[in-house]
Structure 1
């Protein structure tokens, strides 16, 4: 049996369970993101891991952090494989925007211990392994696991996320022109909003009052721009409709691993506009749609140049990019192959 641990349940963890559970026996154990509850969850997790130990074949962790310390220790102590899927915040140190495991003393120690002592690291993007970050010049350029853990020897294999292209697809509906959408949770927290690029989106909305912007995920986020519509979390079906009714998808994150929403929106025919961080350039592929440095004038120039391009063709290219390179089955096959290895 695989013991699967994560700090909080997300669309990523649900997708992993959906991929793995039909093929292999797996048990999920949710941890916590609450500092107050942390001591209790360490004790709880210890006894959970001990209880399931006789039937445990290996450990799988989503992100490195507090929740991966004990599975890593159990793996080493009892000779069981422990695989950590690196996703983003566990691979960066960005105190300038209040982001990244490595900016906090004890979380950094927990993350380093986990990555140095697990059996295998599976980042969702090459940029999480090592990158010379240059998007926001106020942030340290040395990011990624190999820059932050100089003596890291654990094997690393990149497995990008994948998307269900039978569900996320373009229904060829009429889209209102000059409509932009972005999806992120927790953005009522100003630091989180900045990580997700909402500060740049707000500047863009102010410059383009005739355009419409939809921000999905946090109903408590507040915008001063009348052309910005804020709505809370949506079901996958509701998101599908939203993607199919908007012309552009904005992923202007200051830091990112492999954003699910970007891939979903592209599969639905949204033209992506993204920042040059994490896997975003790799996902989008078209360099004319990637903002190389955080600057509102550069962003406006990028959008202005789109007026001279065939937008229908860009929509089709976005959908095909996900369909050919980031489909659900590719990730499933790669992940199951690793989990089946002794």
Structure 2
């Protein structure tokens, strides 16, 4: 079946699925604005029902260099995706971004290594000028009983980073390319990269960097052990919403080093180091400083996540919002 015809068939199938299911619900809650949110929002609006879209990041930006975001019209599929996301955000009852930066933002880190290039102005209000949908930031929450340092695992002079690396765009967006360069410049420090696809695992293995430890997908148990073994977690992304990996690592007492992007600075606070510019020497210096910080910074990192982003806090806010929509 031709790709465009398959898209049309899938859309028609989705329409009838939601048409028969949505009438039995009072409110529709959708993660992210994309293809899948279009019919739930449209049918909810037609039936006079409430709908919420949680914005995680992809619907809040467009970065062509790494194919990040829905706001492009390069192909029929991408035009359709842009329309679906824009319609969903403009017509739902409320948008719940996971970070304030997804509402309106200036990303000064992204092009900081390119002299003369302007920063990126993104966020939903920049991408959809004039949008009137109410927005309220509701942060993600994390379970400190699941993500905690393994007592039997000792912290070592290591830097860990994790992400779901499905392609070269994600490899760059998550800052893995930068960490590989740092590993070359810091041979006495172990760098642990988690979540690689087969292509990047094989490519990096072939490079033979001795202090680079590579992992494909791992279990939660393995992930927590790896977090527990590293003193520093590095989140050097070009764009994020509110990244979960850094929060989970901080719960495992990792000292965070993060790029000055979206929700990362607010997550890190005064428990680690924020890198203002995409510059390898500056990043190496920042990682070196973090490795020399006392382990008490890791304890503070855990406490920060517990205090600000505890799982029950998100649950309470969501319940409050839903009840408020029916008062």
State whether TM-score is above 0.5.
Answer: yes
Q: Which whole-Å CA distance do the structure 1 matches of 2:239 and 2:224 have between them?
A: 25
> Which residue number corresponds to residue 53 of structure 2?
84
Aligned positions of 1:261-340 closer than 5 A: 261-286=245-270, 289-306=273-290, 309-310=293-294, 312-340=295-323
Report deviation, 1:35.
Answer: 7.6
Name the SS of the counterpart of 2:188 in structure 1: coil
The answer to whether the 8 A contact 1:94-1:140 is kept is no
Confirm or deny that 1:216 pairs with 2:194: yes
Q: Which whole-Å CA distance do the structure 1 matches of 2:93 and 2:153 have between them?
A: 49
Structure 1 residues 211 and 255, CA, compared in 2 at 3 Å: closer, same or farther?
A: same
The answer to whether the 8 A contact 2:255-2:271 is kept is no
Structure 1 residues 162 and 226, CA, compared in 2 at 3 Å: closer, same or farther?
A: same
Runs of 5+ consecutive residues of structure 1 not aligned to the other structure: 1-33
Q: Which whole-Å CA distance do the structure 1 matches of 2:5 and 2:215 have between them?
A: 30
Of residues 332-341 and 66-75 in structure 1, the stretch that sits farther from structure 2 once superposed is 332-341
Report deviation, 1:40.
Answer: 3.2
Name the SS of the counterpart of 1:136 in structure 2: coil
Name the SS of the counterpart of 2:41 in structure 1: helix
The answer to whether the 8 A contact 1:219-1:230 is kept is no
> Which residue number corresponds to residue 22 of structure 1?
none
The answer to whether the 8 A contact 2:250-2:305 is kept is yes
1:16-53 CA distances to partner (integer Å, 9 max, x unpaired)?
Answer: xxxxxxxxxxxxxxxxxx98853333222211112213
1:107-149 CA distances to partner (integer Å, 9 max, x unpaired)?
Answer: 2222111111110000000111111110022575211011111
Q: What's the Cα RMSD here? A: 1.9
Please report the TM-score for the alignment, with normalisation by the length of structure 1.
Answer: 0.84
Report deviation, 1:242.
Answer: 1.5
The answer to whether the 8 A contact 2:157-2:291 is kept is no
Name the SS of the counterpart of 1:59 in structure 2: strand
Report deviation, 1:173.
Answer: 4.3
Structure 1 residues 283 and 146, CA, compared in 2 at 3 Å: closer, same or farther?
A: same
> Which residue number corresponds to residue 68 of structure 1?
37
Aligned positions of 1:179-190 closer than 5 A: 179-187=158-166, 189-190=167-168
Report deviation, 1:176.
Answer: 4.5
Structure 1 residues 219 and 276, CA, compared in 2 at 3 Å: closer, same or farther?
A: same
Aligned positions of 1:194-233 closer than 5 A: 194-220=172-198, 221=200, 222-223=203-204, 224=207, 225-233=209-217
Of residues 252-261 and 105-114 in structure 1, the stretch that sits farther from structure 2 once superposed is 105-114
> Which residue number corresponds to residue 72 of structure 2?
103
1:156-210 CA distances to partner (integer Å, 9 max, x unpaired)?
Answer: 00001110011111234453432111111134x1111111111111111111122
Structure 1 residues 237 and 35, CA, compared in 2 at 3 Å: closer, same or farther?
A: farther
Please report the TM-score for the alignment, with normalisation by the length of structure 2.
Answer: 0.88
The answer to whether the 8 A contact 1:173-1:244 is kept is no
Of residues 84-93 and 96-105 in structure 1, the stretch that sits farther from structure 2 once superposed is 96-105
1:225-262 CA distances to partner (integer Å, 9 max, x unpaired)?
Answer: 33222212222222122211111111111110111111
The answer to whether the 8 A contact 1:175-1:247 is kept is no
The answer to whether the 8 A contact 2:150-2:224 is kept is no
